[in-house]
Structure 1
Amino acid sequence: MQRVLITYGTKNGSTAEIARLIADALRDEGLETEVRSPAEVADVGPYDAVVLGGALYMGRWHREARRFSRRHAQALRERPVWLFSSGPLDTSASERDVPAVPGARRAERRTRARGHATFGGRLEAGAKGRLAKAILDEGRGGDFRDTARITAWAHDVAGELKALPEEV
């Protein structure tokens, strides 16, 4: 059974929830999954594949996701990797492909990722950060995650992973 690490950088928990949705979909496809924050991962060696996600803040990919891609770059290039971003606080990510922000594009190149997807984000009352509070005060918060799209993407990842030769 192939073992997949799903790791993520998040500030208010939405990206962690997306990571768990992805893990559930991969498990449904018969893959073994572990969901961990980047700080909990010392070595990617035990995993056959990695899904790395990062929340978006002011056009930047989450720092923990960027650091993880740098710290484990060599090991990530030796296994299949997929990236995701979460963050647009509107329906744009469900309506069209939203390109990766610069930090995620660099991680794509650094890890030789097989793909990247951007999903809508969630920002609700109680969110941390001055900018988050300002957005909420303007009435622009909400939950824009499209769980059907996230799950479909994860099933596509599983299909690609299961189609790879065993030695990968």
Structure 2
Amino acid sequence: MRVAVVCASQYGATRGIAERIGAELALAGLDARVYDAASPPHAEDVAGFDAFVVGSAVYMGHWLKDASTFVRRHQPTLLEHQIWLFSSGPLGTETTDADGADIRESTVPAEITEFTNTVRPVGHRVFFGAIDPEALSLPHRMIRKFPGAAEKIPAGDFRDWTEIEAWAREIARSLVKAG
């Protein structure tokens, strides 16, 4: 079974998640290939996949344009296959905010409601991301200099690899069972 793992990553953290998902799918015996959403497989090649995992980094409550464009452009094909979506973005170690709300639930990107209706994903997950201030572009470095921003945008790698791998194994089990 062929699975395309397509991602949009600004600084590489989301790409790392996609690669880990692809590796777990491959360990389960699936033919998993990881693509950058900016240069995905051609339309005729997309139709040759049996399932999809599509993810994006999240900025200002939205997926990156390349990932959203991929889903919209290939919507008819994606609708005919199993698809899982993931988002990468919250930073830090706290899973709830000051009001006790689940950070993952409150950071679901705006596009997910649309995609739930248009491609009907099997599931969507929000994973914590990573940020290296030294790797940021000048505008993003400047944003972190605003008062209080460094606390709201903490530096570090907050990806939970155990959680990511477990989710990928769930996907693999679902696909192997269906196949």
TM-score by length of 2: 0.83
Structure of greater Rg? 2
Mapped to 2, the partners of 1:92 and 1:78 lie a distance apart of 37
Tell me the residue number matched to 1:32. 31
1:151 is aligned to 2:173: no
Aligned counterpart for 1:105 among listed residues 88, 91, 113: 113
SS at match of 1:89: coil
Residues 15-164 of structure 1: pairs in structure 2 closer than 5 A: 15-38=14-37, 39-43=39-43, 44-92=46-94, 98-99=104-105, 100-124=108-132, 125-128=134-137, 130-135=139-144, 138=150, 140-164=154-178
SS at match of 1:83: strand
For structure 2, list consecutive stretches of 5 or more residues without a partner in the other structure: 97-101
Report sequence identity in percent: 33
For structure 1, list consecutive stretches of 5 or more residues without a partner in the other structure: none
Q: Amino acid of the residue matched to residue 40 of structure 2?
A: E
1:28 Cα deviation from its structure 2 partner: 0.9
Conservation of the 8 A alpha-carbon contact between 1:84 and 1:116: yes
Mapped to 1, the partners of 2:95 and 2:33 lie a distance apart of 26
TM-score by length of 1: 0.89
Mapped to 2, the partners of 1:84 and 1:132 lie a distance apart of 25
- The structure-2 alpha-carbon separation of the partners of 1:132 and 1:114, relative to structure 1 and needing over 3 Å to count, comes to farther
Q: Considering only aligned residues, what root-mean-square deviation do their CA atoms show, in Å?
A: 2.1
- The structure-2 alpha-carbon separation of the partners of 1:130 and 1:153, relative to structure 1 and needing over 3 Å to count, comes to same
